Amino acid sequence: MEKRNESLNMDFILLGLFPGMKHINFLVSVILLIYTVALTANSILILLIWVDSHLHTPMYFLLSQLALMDLTLISSTVPKMATDFFSGRRNISQMACGTQIFFFLTLGIAECILITLMSYDRYVAICNPLRYALIMNQRVCLQMAAFSWAGGALTSLAHTAYAMHFPMCGSREISHFLCEVMAILKLACEDTSAYEKAVVVTSIVVLFIPLSLILSSYVLIFLAVLRMNSPEGRNKALATCSSHLTVVSLYFGPALLVYMRPSSYHSPKLDHILFMLGAILTPMMNPLIYSLRNKEVVNALKNVVGCYLT
């Protein structure tokens, strides 16, 4: 019994989403609906890209990887949050907390890398179409996917190990609905200013520099689009690029505000909103953005449904 109490004392307590909010039941229900839609939409998108030969292209392969990351990202947060809410038990062990931080950071960083590489794919397709098949071959696509996953995992491992090594004292209550690096640092007994600077440096490398590369590539892409003679080709290129830029803003916007904002400007409510946008709403929006405005994906869905019904 004493060991169990000692174990519970070592656990963190997640205060949950917007503590004290009156209509939290409704909000949790909406989040579970979003989770169901995200799970279904991303799974369908992965399946369509897998089974339809018309979607066996570099762009759709990278998109399938993004859908897989989205599916895993939202699954690393929502089930735990919902379980805590309905059971009333908000404790989480140090091991489980570190594991959640690792997966959350791995997927978030991997998505930033992958989205940057997807912009390069669009750049080659529009600015250098004659060499597209040669440059974006199967080997390169696999290397891009592997680099995204590995880059996310290695960076996350370093940050998770460093953040979790700080001794914790006093309250072990985390003012969040998930274990998150910046929230954990507030519980540390030691000075964390050096590590917080490391977080800013990592944010510059993972967020600011990739975003700059994406925007630079799109300047060149739009210049190339303006030189196109075919209105149909121009419209198709603009539709694809606008979808990707929408996804870029959904990912990089909240992440930049969370990790590149001075610590004095952090507030639990704003952080909750930003994390909801980045970790819950965005994984649902991505497959809808790419599929509803994409004739090839819509046609693939019609073909699969048609084959199933007949």
The number of distinct structural domains making up the chain is 1
Structure tokens at 68: 């897989």
Q: Which helix (H) or strand (E) holds 109?
A: helix 94-127
Residue at 79 is within a domain = yes
- Write out residues in the chain with pLDDT < 70, as ranges: 1-9, 20-21, 170, 263-266, 310
Residue at 134 is within a domain = yes
Structure tokens at 309: 């019904």
Residue at 310 is within a domain = no
Model pLDDT, residue 20: 67
Residues whose CB is less than 8 angstroms from the CB of residue 90 and which lie 6 or more positions away in sequence, other chains included = 13, 14, 15, 16, 84
Residue at 271 is within a domain = yes
Residues 197/204, Cβ–Cβ less than 8 Å: no
Q: In a 10 Å sphere around its CB, with 0-12 CB exposed, 13-18 middle and 19+ buried, how is residue 255 labelled?
A: buried
Q: Which helix (H) or strand (E) holds 307?
A: helix 295-309
Residue at 120 is within a domain = yes
Look up the domain containing 256 and give its range: 2-304
Residue at 309 is within a domain = no
DSSP 310: -
Strands (E), the chain: 12-14, 91-92, 173-174
Residue at 12 is within a domain = yes
CATH at residue 274? 1.20.1070.10
Structure tokens at 261: 């904002």
- Any bridge partners for residue 12, and if so which? 92
Residue at 76 is within a domain = yes
Name the residue type at position 49: I
